[in-house]
Structure 1
Amino acid sequence: MSTTIAPETVTVKHEIKDITLAPLGKQRIEWASREMPVLRQIRDRFAAEKPLAGIRIAACCHVTTETANLAIALKAAGADAVLIASNPLSTQDDVAASLVYDHGISVFAIKGEDNATYHRHVEMALAHRPHIIVDDGSDVTTTLVLHHADQIPEIIGTTEETTTGLVRLNAMFKDGKLTFPAIAVNDAETKHFFDNRYGTGQSTLDGIIRATNILLAGKVIVVAGYGWCGKGVALRARGMGANVVVTEINPVAAIEAAMDGFRVMPMDEAAKVGDIFITVTGNKHVIRREHFETMKDGAIVANSGHFDLEIDLVALNDLSESASFVRNFTQEYQLKSGKSVIVIGEGRLVNLAAAEGHPASVMDMSFANQALACEFLVKNKGNLPAGVVPIPKDVDQEIARLKLQAMGIKIDTLTPEQVHYLNSWTEGT
């Protein structure tokens, strides 16, 4: 979709694919907003109260229609925000264009950007000298600590919405490098119960289906990892008629998967029976050389964890004599053994590389947490401990209350008698 937009009329700093894509992006952002009533209510309050006035924010997120609504809410709150992509394949170029043209928000993100461009954009985000970093995987925070320690005194705090990012932040704190508060948005119940389980479950399969157009019913789908994301993927795959196998390293999670009715086995065994493999562990090289060597001819491999390290593509390249795109975002590796392995989205987040990411109604709660976490950091500046800090319970509860209200669902409240009983220790049998 093109328009008569003249690039020279856009004064806000940006580095995007094509500013003339803005009208389509605007339409899609507004469509997503319909499914984000909680964030919309927060944005309206922010516009009236301006709780982030004078605050510089660097946001490193997937540049999607849902993220756009978060960026708009932060600007409404008075923040001076810049946005970069948290994954080279997750940017929606029309959305980036609309944020720049229609909302005057600096965006540095291009779908398919190479690693050098991605890291340059991280540096550009830090050149904004942020007070708050809204992170997705902690790349910006890590770069700050490693290469821009002089900026740390200006940092009020960060917010992090991925399991992978929190793993890095906890390791950073253990090493004495995280000297400011990092709000664990990912651990909010209204985030991981819903975003990770229902969002990842649906959007992962959406990406695989869009990329391959295969029937899932009757296929053996191997889900690596049975955390909240893995539970969602396994549940949705079974709902589509797949025969689901789970691999795990955590004995408690493995028992849970078995009790939920899934077959559980090591990846060495699963590699021999799987038709489709989906990694959601947040760890490195979950699928590696020995697994590729024993997979069926034509096995499909996809990743829905944050980074593209879960699948050892270096080993796969070494085993292969050629690789070619057979569909959009779908590469077929011809192994020297004569078999082939198909990789979707270059091993990056399949739901964003090959589809549109999580549905807006799920991201409504996740980004409501992000917005309120930023407000919480400003309100409590100087009073929070260094390290990973849980999001306040009352914030979590308020987001759930607003979501229920938007859904037209009512729930019970405690009677005075029940409140008294819960606060008493003398009543019993």
Structure 2
Amino acid sequence: MSIIRDESLWESGKRKIDWVRHNMPLLNGLEERFIKEKPFEGLKVALSVHLEAKTAYLCKVLAAGGAQMYVTGSNPLSTQDDVAAALVHDGLNVFAWHGATDEEYHSHISEVVKIGPNIIIDDGGDLVNIIHNEYKELIPQVIGGCEETTTGIIRLMAMNRDKALRFPMVLVNNARCKHLFDNRYGTGQSVWDGINRTTNLIVAGKNVVVAGYGWCGKGVAMRAKGLGARVIVTEIDPVKAAEAVMDGFRVMKMTEAAKTGDIFVTVTGCKDVICEDSFANMKDGAILCNAGHFDCEVDVAGLDRIAKKKFLARNNIDGYTLEDGRTLYVIGEGRLVNLAAGDGHPAEIMDMSFAIQALSALYLAQHRNESHEPGDMVIGVPESVDEEVAREKLRHWGYEIDTLTEEQERYLNSWNVE
């Protein structure tokens, strides 16, 4: 059973999946292992992640391990219809299409949950949210789940504090091989891929405002600097703001940064980061986009409310002309710019992130009989998983590293050192 746009598009999707498969050696190795071991035999896996080729390959790897896959997207504009068709052609269950309305998106998420999953793989927390609020009767059969992104983890931590989270969730985003590489290098590159291909404008010489200096913000700022931009960082965390200063960036409040910015990128995980008080200060022609999970960081609805005219300026760019004649531009409706206006993170980066996802799902399957108390439902990625992924990646790159001798181990673990 599937609900997709057009199954006849499968050949184009297959080519995309074959391309990333060639560039994801860690998942290649896990696919071979899972085919032999079948660790997910008899288990239903519900997955909501940006539905493009790299995610599709993760789905195929889990299916190779015996999982019954039920797949949807985590953002209406990041779903690629040909990739969805390729998965359906290969026998997976997919409920998603590009450009879904809010009602259609909710319906697709619901279809994936209604099958009664044993393992959940989430990106942003929509699957976890809907099963807790609308399908509580299905919770007892959930072994656990994995969360891909910072925004989802913020939700999970809040649920766990309130003792509302009813099954264990592995915090995949907190793994070192996830946030250090995916968030910094993946987001850093893919955000500018999306901006550049959509605008066809130069970055060098422009003032770029990056809202948020977490790992994603660091990557976006670093790449903007590398492209020749003058970078301004806005922050609420004084430690991160100080770090941005010491990394060579100007730091100021958003209302002040709004006066000089040419391109704005929000990367905070919060809402109303850029809103009406900032719009009032912006230059004519300023470009706004968001690299946080949900489309609430740039107040697009507020901009629409104060604009006297909205128009399609270029494919995937909306123009908003204000009463004073200035026009501001928003890429991808304020949704995730690297996926709404691009193909997301590079395959080699997602190879690491999705290897952690697959191994975290394996951990849940292998520890399905462990009990967890309310308030103790969040699990860190085991250090052994992080190290396994990093060592395998180094091996594929052709690098070797040192190991501690027994004497060095004793030295590091002793308090009474001579």
Normalised by the length of structure 1, the TM-score is 0.95
Mapped partners of 2:261, 2:109: distance in 1: 38
Q: Deviations over 1:222-261 (max 9, x none)?
A: 0000000000000000000000000000011001000000
Residue aligning to 1:250: 237
Residue aligning to 1:8: none
Q: Do residues 183 (structure 1) and 183 (structure 2) align?
A: no
State whether residues 47 and 72 of structure 2, in contact with CA within 8 Å, keep that contact through their aligned partners in structure 1: yes
Q: Do residues 392 (structure 1) and 382 (structure 2) align?
A: yes
State whether residues 247 and 265 of structure 1, in contact with CA within 8 Å, keep that contact through their aligned partners in structure 2: yes
- Amino acid paired to 2:68: D
State whether residues 170 and 387 of structure 1, in contact with CA within 8 Å, keep that contact through their aligned partners in structure 2: no
Q: Which moved more, 1:274-283 or 1:31-40?
A: 31-40
Of 107, 113, 134 in structure 2, the residue corresponding to residue 147 of structure 1 is 134
Mapped partners of 2:130, 2:189: distance in 1: 32
Q: Do residues 77 (structure 1) and 65 (structure 2) align?
A: yes
Mapped partners of 2:179, 2:82: distance in 1: 28
Tell me the CA shift for residue 128 of structure 1: 1.2
Residue aligning to 2:396: 406
Residue aligning to 2:206: 219
- Structure 1 consecutive aligned stretches of length 4 or more whose deviation exceeds 3 Å: none
Q: Do residues 373 (structure 1) and 360 (structure 2) align?
A: yes
State whether residues 35 and 361 of structure 1, in contact with CA within 8 Å, keep that contact through their aligned partners in structure 2: yes
Mapped partners of 1:167, 1:416: distance in 2: 40
Residue aligning to 1:49: 37
Of 55, 68, 82 in structure 2, the residue corresponding to residue 67 of structure 1 is 55
Q: Deviations over 1:78-98 (max 9, x none)?
A: 000111010010011111111
Q: Which moved more, 1:406-415 or 1:277-286?
A: 406-415
State whether residues 262 and 287 of structure 2, in contact with CA within 8 Å, keep that contact through their aligned partners in structure 1: yes
SS in 2 for 1:215: coil
CA, structure 1 residues 229+81, in 2 after alignment: closer, same or farther (shift >3 Å)?
same
Aligned pairs (5 A) from 1:265-280: 265-280=252-267
- Amino acid paired to 1:48: K
Of 359, 380, 383 in structure 1, the residue corresponding to residue 346 of structure 2 is 359
Tell me the CA shift for residue 326 of structure 1: 1.4
SS in 1 for 2:72: strand
Mapped partners of 1:314, 1:330: distance in 2: 15
- Amino acid paired to 2:213: Y
Mapped partners of 1:83, 1:240: distance in 2: 37
Mapped partners of 1:30, 1:314: distance in 2: 39
Residue aligning to 2:268: 281
Tell me the CA shift for residue 417 of structure 1: 2.0
Mapped partners of 1:89, 1:173: distance in 2: 30
- Amino acid paired to 1:94: D
SS in 2 for 1:331: strand
Q: Deviations over 1:358-407 (max 9, x none)?
A: 00000001101111111101111131534211010001110111111111
Mapped partners of 1:418, 1:174: distance in 2: 40
Residue aligning to 1:35: 23
Residue aligning to 1:237: 224
Mapped partners of 1:34, 1:182: distance in 2: 30
State whether residues 114 and 135 of structure 2, in contact with CA within 8 Å, keep that contact through their aligned partners in structure 1: no
Residue aligning to 1:327: 314
Residue aligning to 2:74: 86
Residue aligning to 1:3: none
SS in 1 for 2:280: helix
Residue aligning to 2:417: 427
- Amino acid paired to 1:196: N
Q: Which moved more, 1:300-309 or 1:169-178?
A: 169-178
Q: Do residues 19 (structure 1) and 7 (structure 2) align?
A: yes
Mapped partners of 1:98, 1:202: distance in 2: 27
SS in 2 for 1:272: coil
Mapped partners of 1:96, 1:160: distance in 2: 21
State whether residues 57 and 131 of structure 1, in contact with CA within 8 Å, keep that contact through their aligned partners in structure 2: yes
State whether residues 172 and 178 of structure 2, in contact with CA within 8 Å, keep that contact through their aligned partners in structure 1: yes
Mapped partners of 2:83, 2:23: distance in 1: 17
- Amino acid paired to 1:280: V
Q: Which moved more, 1:362-371 or 1:386-395?
A: 386-395
Tell me the CA shift for residue 424 of structure 1: 2.0
Mapped partners of 1:358, 1:207: distance in 2: 10
- Amino acid paired to 2:417: E
Mapped partners of 1:235, 1:144: distance in 2: 38
Mapped partners of 2:158, 2:404: distance in 1: 41
Mapped partners of 1:104, 1:404: distance in 2: 34
Mapped partners of 1:424, 1:301: distance in 2: 54
Structure 1 unmatched runs, 5+: 1-12
Mapped partners of 2:80, 2:396: distance in 1: 27
Mapped partners of 1:115, 1:151: distance in 2: 23
Mapped partners of 1:403, 1:127: distance in 2: 37
RMSD, aligned CA = 0.9
Q: Do residues 165 (structure 1) and 152 (structure 2) align?
A: yes
Mapped partners of 1:312, 1:328: distance in 2: 20
- Amino acid paired to 2:3: E
- Amino acid paired to 2:185: Y
Mapped partners of 2:21, 2:316: distance in 1: 28
- Amino acid paired to 1:265: M
How many residues end up aligned between the 2 structures?
415
Q: Deviations over 1:119-166 (max 9, x none)?
A: 000110111110111000001100111111111111101100110000
Mapped partners of 2:81, 2:58: distance in 1: 17
Of 185, 196, 205 in structure 1, the residue corresponding to residue 192 of structure 2 is 205
Q: Do residues 295 (structure 1) and 282 (structure 2) align?
A: yes
Tell me the CA shift for residue 183 of structure 1: 0.3
